[in-house]
């Protein structure tokens, strides 16, 4: 989470919702590196390695 992310969220979201928003953002940031390798391994097992590039292009 960068300082710019915190600044933009802090200035655009209502103060009573900040806790929930920062909690959700923290959850997404924490789960991404944990789930990413498992999804990548599944794609490599189920399809060829070229699918990783097709999945990564839209993101």
The pLDDT of residue 12 is 92
The pLDDT of residue 1 is 59
* Domain assignment of residue 41, given as a range: 3-56
The pLDDT of residue 58 is 62
User: What's the full length of the chain, in residues?
Assistant: 59
CA distance 10 to 7: 5
Going residue by residue through the chain, which has 59 residues, state the pLDDT in tens, using 9 for 90 and above.
578 888 898 899 998 999 999 999 889 888 988 998 898 888 888 888 787 777 766 65
Structural domain count of the chain: 1
CA distance 19 to 15: 8
């Amino acid at each position: 989470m960068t300082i710019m992310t915190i600044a933009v969220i802090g200035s655009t979201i209502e103060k009573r919702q900040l806790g929930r928003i920062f909690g959700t953002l923290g959850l997404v940031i924490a789960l991404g590196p944990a789930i990413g390798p498992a999804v990548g391994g599944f794609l490599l097992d189920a399809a060829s390695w070229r699918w990783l590039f097709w999945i990564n292009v839209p993101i």
